[in-house]
Amino acid sequence: MTSVTTSAASILATVALLATRVTLQGVEVRRPPEPTPEVKAWRGSLPEGRPALRGFRAPVLDHRAETRPIEPAGDAATKNAAAIVERDLARRGLLATTAAATESLASSREAVGTEDLRAIGLPVDWLEFFRDTDSAFAFRPSLPGFEVATESGEHEIETVRLQITSGTYWSGAGDGGCVDLARQLIEALPEARFVASVQESHLAGLLETAGTWPPSTGSRLVLLPEALPVAQWAQDGGKSGRVPAPGGQGYETVTLVPRYASRGEAGAAFVPGETFLVDGFASAGLRAVQSPLLFQGGDLLAARDPKDGSRILFLGEANVWRNTALGLTQDQVLEAFRIEFGVDRCVVLPAVSFHLDQELTLRAVGDRLVGFVADPVPAAKIVLACGLDAVRRSGALDAASAAQARADLEAGKYREFLERVFPAVGARGQGFGRHPESFSAFFSSGASDSGVGNLQRFLLALDLLVAWSMPVDELPLEPHSLAYLRSFLRTDADRREMIARLRSAGVEIAPVPSLPEGERGIDYLNGVHEPGRYLMPAWGGLYAPLDRAAEDAFRKALGPGNDVHPVLTSESQRRGGAIHCSISALPGR
């Protein structure tokens, strides 16, 4: 594939605007169906944030020609009833709240219909699962026969769905950002098809960048231009699976999408661009079905237990609370997840990190289900050992002091290490929590290795070591700093609880040196399994020794016949995710 100039790429993108389906520079650009002007204007007006109407369900797929209320409007009676729903739905439950809100509305109109109930925020789609006779709950799957794809190494990856946020690299090939991650995955999965949503404004630049990739890329890449902003995290907008194909010949792949795509834990924030792009990838031949459940895909992991063949859905606890907020009980939520995702049982795990896929990856190894979890202590020690060289190069520590600090770290003399290194690093600061960019430059090993990102991780490791080695409550620090250090201890306790629940579920635990600390961490668990191989997030650069330690831990637990393929993700991790967060892998048929 030959490269094109920016102006030529812009012309090609303009051509793409005029065609529903066109091949440009070997890459297929397929334009999703244009919504009506009314629907397009409505979608463009929707803010990102928690819907004021609790029961809002985005009109997509078969309902894409509709608009629906997302905040209270209308007369005083409507607003009063909406206030009842907001106050009582999670506390009193769906049926009791529906009765109270209906009674309130009935005082101002002759009849109360479904649209009236939707307009006050009741999740009317859930009412059909309660029998009128005895109010018993009987959930029915949105797609009978659907089984979520297990992520424990059973399925070949046939199609990869991506969401690309830019037309160019962050800093260059190897930076591990969104575009670079797409390039690496296309090279790592030569048999897979790639379908990528991209905001319209980035199409021309992405065509130009893709023109520099290997010639086989174009024949396997479909770009879907979108009007609204597109974030990187394709995993959260849906979970892939399959249903028996008509006639009983094989399977058909399907993506189950939530009632709306959301972001955040404390109240799910509706994200319009993530929600409505489902219409685009469905138009590209990727079948999708919408669920009444509210979920974020990175907080769900399905696995097969090889001991008995049972299918287990592991859920981060936030998924339960998102749906009890719709007026369901915890038992009803778990039963709905079990039926909807076609699994034998659900296991709820505590929220250690933002999403479960940052703390856990699962693999069927022989007759064992192995759960890979973070082992932060050796990871922090490796980060500190690597960062010591940068501190020495900056002149903050002389060679002798750096050597002694390294010896203290290796010997487990953490207080002595901190007493030597902390003041030296702090002396290079420019006020509380601030360091000059010139200091961070010593932490970079090349153009695509972020010195700022590497320094952040070194400072994180120092803070972790303080929390682990000193009596936090006795330190002479102000309250916010003490609360910050205590948060690490709470995370450790939550991780221990998660491991205990996994063991109770029959999962064998394999620790991996890893620091899943969101936008400041280095995470090796946010990868993807396929038969015979694990695609492992890697950092590269200054912290390449930590990559090797994590890779060794995976290889040891996976055993012979399974490979580990590192994929650079550093810039993506600086935004809080890696491989698993960034893709939806559709299983082979």
Pairing of strands 563-568, 262-263: unpaired
Q: How far apart are CA 435 and CA 61, in angstroms?
A: 49
pLDDT computed for residue 111 by the predictor: 84
pLDDT for the residue numbered 573: 97
Query: Tokens representing 506?
Result: 């029959």
Got the DSSP string for 258-296? Answer: -SS-EE-SSSPEE-HHHHHTHHHHHHTT--EEE-SS---
pLDDT at 246: 86
How would you classify the pairing of strands 221-226 and 157-164? unpaired
pLDDT of residue 14: 52
Residue ranges of the chain whose pLDDT lies below 70: 1-21, 23-25, 133-134, 589
Exposure of 249 by Cβ count < 10 A (0-12 exposed, 13-18 middle, 19+ buried)?
exposed
Q: What's the half-sphere exposure (Cβ side, CA atoms, 13 Å) at 475?
A: 19
pTM: 0.94
Taking the C-alpha atoms of residue 391 and residue 270, their distance in angstroms, rounded to an integer, is 43
